[in-house]
Structure formats: C-alpha cells, structure tokens
Amino acid sequence: MNAPSNATYRTISTQRFAGALGAEVVGVDLSQPLSDDVLAEIRAALLDNQVIVFRNQTLTPEQQLAFARRWGEIHLHPFMQGMPDYPEILEVIKTPEDKKNFGGSWHTDQMFSPQPALGTMLYALEVPSAGGDTLFTNQYLAYETLSDGMKAMIAGLRTVCVGDNFKQHGGMSRAQRYDREMTHMKVKDPGNVQTTSVHPLVRTHPETGRKVLYIGGHVQHFEGMTDAESEPLIAFLKQHSIRPEFTARVRWESGTLTFWDNRCTQHFAINDYPAETRIMRRITICGDTPF
C-alpha cells in the first residue's frame, strides 16, 4: 500500500496529517498569481496526497476562481444554484435552523455526470466552534486491499450512477428534501444536463495510472443487473471503501482551503454542530470520462 509521503519540493513544503492520505501545504499564498513552477508542485502534492489543505488564506471569490481556473474549466452543479454574482461558486451554508447539511453522506462529487469532477476546492468563511469536519477516504487503498478473487470478479463491472437518487431518500427528490431541511441551499432544474451515467467500478486514474475502487453514494446498481441483484456487493464495497485505516479528517478553520482529487477519494461532511453556522465556498473542476 502506498501512503502519502512528506515529499521534498523546491517551492512548497508539505506535512501529511494522516497515514492514508492528506497533507497540509505550506508556503503558498493563493490570493497571489502562482508561477507555473509552483502550480506544478501543487499538482504533484495533490497527486501524492489526494487531499491538500492550505491554511490562513484570505481569498475573494475572484481570487478563488482565478486559482481554480488554473486547473481547468469550472463545473457547474446541475442541481444547485451558484452565487448570484459568481454562478461558478456554490455557497455551502448551514445554520441552526437547518436540519440537514450539504454533502452529509459518503460520495465523490458529480459521479452521476458523464465526465465527473477532477477535483473540488472548498474554502471556509465561517466555521463552528467545534465540529463541522470533513472525512476523506483513499480509494486506491480500497481497491488494493481487495482479495485477488474479488478484483477478478469486479474487473468488468460498470455502475449506474444517479444524481437525484429517489431510491435512497424514500422517494423524495432533491428539491423536496432540500426545501424541507436546508433553507439556504437552493435547487435548480438540471434541464437537459445528463444526470445519470454509467462508469467502470474499477477506474484507472488518468494521471497516476493507479487503479481505484470507484464507488460512492450515487451508485444505484450494476449495469445489466437489478437493484436487488446488485445490492449485496454494492453494500459490501461501500462499507469496505470507508474502513477507518483508509481515512483522514480535515478540521476546518476560517481561511482554510481544502482541495481534493475526486478521481481517487470519497468524502463526508459531518453534521455535528446543530446550534452553529458553517459557511463555505465551493468550486468544482471539470474532469474526464472514467476508464
């Protein structure tokens, strides 16, 4: 198993914060234009660690967008409305009046899209006095620790991934759930945007070449199988993929920006701050077709 290392870089430094994945990046001010050399080392740090954290950042929406655009086109969420002046940015808000939080289940972003997100940048504006952390899990390790027999069995399987998963929410749509439980998160009609897609269960990361168990909350069933036939194996793989030894936990502070690689991680936003407010700005980078 390959764990992240405290690699030596020329322009930045990193310090990992868990055995399985995750590192803090030191020596970078994201509000300033970055040279190609610095950006290349940040990309290397992301590939090495899957989740990278930048502390003590002071970013306007324009500055966060400028950093995000260095990685590719911005992905617009098909179901969620962006900020009025910055539609590429999704403001993630939970107040004491909200029962549910956004992202409060294990998933990888935009898995239901034909070309799921490369990565997500989440910037903390206001955080609770305690709680509101985000968990991450290493999907390389989830695949590599499977038995040879299981790897052989799942090698050709493909999953049907659904954006508005009525099955898992008692028949309620996103709009119905969010209207009832999240007063500040506004759903939009996706229109003709494709929100159900089929992907390989075992994915190859396009930059590292490593195999990934590509599973998450958007998976509904295997292609060519019924829900009932698919459910036992999907349930096993979902549970296996979040074993504690595969995970890391990011504790937020105001001014923290966390950037994660959706191609080889899942994440889970913990809803453990019922009497407090948490406000974040999220930008998602377009990805490619899984293979």
What string of DSSP letters covers 86-105?
-TT-EEEEE-TT-SS-TT-S
- Collapsing DSSP to helix, strand or coil, 61 comes out as helix
Tokens 């390959």 — which residue? 2
Asked if 282 is an active-site residue, the reply is yes
Tokens 């994915």 — which residue? 203
Q: What span, in angstroms and rounded, lies between the C-alpha atoms of 60 and 125? A: 10
Asked if 267 is an active-site residue, the reply is yes
User: Any idea what DSSP says for residue 168?
Assistant: G
Q: What span, in angstroms and rounded, lies between the C-alpha atoms of 67 and 25? A: 15
Q: What span, in angstroms and rounded, lies between the C-alpha atoms of 91 and 122? A: 9
CA distances from 23 to 50, 161, 286 (A): 8, 30, 23
Using CB atoms within 10 Å of the CB of residue 223, give its burial: 0 to 12 exposed, 13 to 18 middle, 19+ buried.
middle
* Catalytic residue selected from 107, 203, 205, 221: 107
- The H-or-E segment that residue 218 falls in is none
Asked if 261 is an active-site residue, the reply is no
Q: What span, in angstroms and rounded, lies between the C-alpha atoms of 17 and 129? A: 21
Half-sphere exposure of 245 (CA within 13 A, CB side): 8
CA distances from 66 to 59, 183, 187 (A): 10, 29, 26
* Catalytic residue selected from 109, 164, 218, 221: 109
- Collapsing DSSP to helix, strand or coil, 245 comes out as helix
Q: Say if CB 117 and CB 286 are below 8 A apart.
A: yes
Asked if 263 is an active-site residue, the reply is no
Q: What span, in angstroms and rounded, lies between the C-alpha atoms of 238 and 243? A: 9
* Catalytic residue selected from 77, 267, 278, 281: 267
* Catalytic residue selected from 174, 203, 281, 282: 282
Active site residues: 107, 109, 267, 282
